[in-house]
């Protein structure tokens, strides 16, 4: 299976059908995790993603000032019309696509791109983005999965990429980077998106083995070190905010220059994220995620709360932040009220499904008799 993915990857790279630079990351794998590894880090990563999404999606796409005027500071699930106006955590596309990816990998024993692509096309996606909608339309008219992803730098691949680390826990080979690339370009075939997904998977894999939170500067430095080699010199600029007419360049440079500058000025998350607009474009999403983790990565609750309250595309930014702090701190450090109040759905009525999938993933990819 992995050999097939490597063959596909090498063919697509040779044919210049993957819009990313094959940098040094692809030369070495991260290595297997030790036998003492705590699978609670995986559970924290995936539940952190689902919780961030659920806390944010009922106030998605509002400016922070508009959201605060309506709801005050959001620290718990809001009443949801899809749950009889009960305050429970329901999924949007972030949770759905991430857990459908995991579900398919459990069934297949690893990542088979065609199967995951088909899985995305089978059920209704809540709050589907334009890029994924186009991907599905392309699939349904018969395009192969590797030609169906538009060249988009939206955040729809980054939001679902976290589970890619799970099948590779015991092996730790460089196939992790191959699978991550193929999974990313499936829906968003863009150098900024693929490089962001690879850098984030690298970061998640590092976080899972840390005994304590990294220094604040680690987040931006690590992202830039990995992404610069892969993204190259793309040219994006923010769609809004004070940097709209000031910044043109790659995502890694926005992180390198503007996140560091905001941190040196001790800006709040709201102040910093307003500079680059904090929307669904990766040039806005990635610096928002990295800045929140720089300021609050040591405190999983506050990191997720700040993502939910102080950014525009708050459900996706909170999902990505939630995955990171969950991988770093483990499920036991995520507030219990959030875990308890999570519906666990990946569709309309499959309550508790995410919890069942995590139990299945442990059995499949981290068995007691490994």
Distance CA 359, CA 294 (A): 31
Q: 139 exposed, middle or buried (CB, 10 Å; 0-12, 13-18, 19+)?
A: buried
Q: Assess contact for 265 and 54: CB atoms under 8 A.
A: no
Given this model, what pLDDT does residue 217 score? 97
Q: Assess contact for 167 and 175: CB atoms under 8 A.
A: no
Given this model, what pLDDT does residue 164 score? 98
In the three-class reduction of DSSP (H, G, I as helix; E, B as strand; rest coil), residue 342 is classed as strand
Phi-psi region of 152 (alpha: psi -120 to 50; beta: other; left: phi over 0): beta
pLDDT tens figures, 164-185: 999 999 999 999 999 999 999 9
What percent of the chain clears pLDDT 90, i.e. is strictly above it?
Answer: 95
Q: Looking at residues 205-228, what average pLDDT do you find?
A: 98
Q: Identify the bridge partners of residue 342 per DSSP, sorted by sequence position.
A: 89
Q: 240 exposed, middle or buried (CB, 10 Å; 0-12, 13-18, 19+)?
A: middle
Angle at 320 between CA 317 and CA 323, to 5 degrees: 145
Q: Among residues 204, 220, 216, 110, which one has the least CA distance to residue 160?
A: 204
Given this model, what pLDDT does residue 245 score? 86
pLDDT tens figures, 35-90: 999 999 999 999 999 999 999 999 999 999 999 999 999 999 999 888 888 999 99
Please say if the pLDDT value at position 359 is more than 90. Answer: yes
Q: Where are the domains of the chain?
A: 35-73+81-365
Sign of CA dihedral 27, 32, 38, 42: positive
Please say if the pLDDT value at position 318 is more than 90. Answer: yes
Helix axes 300-310, 40-56, angle to 10 degrees: 30
Please say if the pLDDT value at position 266 is more than 90. Answer: yes
Q: Looking at residues 101-113, what average pLDDT do you find?
A: 98
pLDDT tens figures, 134-156: 999 999 999 999 999 999 999 99
Q: Looking at residues 92-100, what average pLDDT do you find?
A: 98
Q: Assess contact for 209 and 37: CB atoms under 8 A.
A: yes
Q: Looking up tokens 């998977």, which residue turns up?
A: 201
Q: Identify the bridge partners of residue 236 per DSSP, sorted by sequence position.
A: 249
Tokens linked to 40: 């609670």
Given this model, what pLDDT does residue 96 score? 98
CATH topology of domain 35-73+81-365: ADP-ribosylglycohydrolase fold (1.10.4080)
Please say if the pLDDT value at position 1 is more than 80. Answer: no
- pTM of the predicted model as reported, rounded to 2 decimal places: 0.98
Tokens linked to 324: 């990171």
Model confidence at 2, in pLDDT bands (50, 70, 90)?
low
């Amino acid at each position: 299976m992995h050999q097939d993915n490597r063959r596909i990857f090498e063919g697509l790279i040779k044919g210049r059908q993957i819009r990313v630079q094959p940098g040094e990351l692809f030369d070495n794998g991260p290595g297997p995790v030790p036998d003492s590894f705590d699978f609670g880090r995986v559970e924290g990563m995936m539940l952190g993603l689902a919780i961030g999404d659920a806390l944010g999606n009922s106030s998605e796409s509002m400016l922070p000032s508009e959201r605060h005027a309506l709801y005050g500071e959001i620290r718990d699930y809001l009443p949801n019309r899809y749950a009889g106006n009960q305050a429970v955590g329901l999924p949007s596309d972030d949770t759905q696509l991430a857990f459908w990816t995991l579900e398919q990998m459990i069934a297949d024993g690893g990542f088979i791109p065609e199967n995951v692509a088909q899985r995305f096309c089978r059920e209704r996606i809540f709050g589907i983005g334009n890029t994924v909608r186009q991907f599905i339309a392309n699939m349904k008219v018969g395009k192969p999965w590797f030609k169906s992803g538009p060249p988009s730098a939206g955040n729809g691949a980054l939001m679902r990429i976290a589970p890619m680390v799970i099948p590779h826990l015991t092996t730790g080979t460089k196939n992790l980077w191959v699978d991550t690339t193929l999974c990313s370009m499936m829906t968003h075939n863009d150098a900024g998106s693929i490089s962001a997904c690879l850098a984030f998977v690298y970061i998640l894999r590092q976080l899972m083995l840390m005994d304590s939170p990294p220094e604040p500067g680690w987040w931006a430095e690590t992202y830039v070190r990995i992404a610069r080699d892969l993204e190259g010199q793309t040219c994006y600029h923010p769609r809004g905010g004070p940097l709209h007419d000031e910044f043109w360049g790659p995502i890694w440079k926005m992180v390198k220059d503007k996140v560091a500058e905001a941190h040196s000025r001790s800006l709040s998350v709201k102040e910093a994220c307003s500079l680059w607009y904090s929307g669904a474009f990766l040039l806005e999403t990635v610096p928002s995620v990295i800045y929140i983790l720089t300021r609050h990565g040591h405190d999983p609750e506050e990191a997720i709360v700040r993502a939910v309250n102080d950014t525009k595309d708050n459900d996706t930014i909170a999902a990505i932040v939630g995955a990171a702090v969950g991988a770093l701190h483990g499920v036991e450090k995520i507030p219990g009220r959030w875990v308890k109040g999570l519906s666990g759905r990946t569709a309309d009525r499959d309550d508790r499904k995410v919890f069942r999938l995590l139990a299945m993933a442990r059995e499949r990819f981290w068995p007691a008799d490994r």
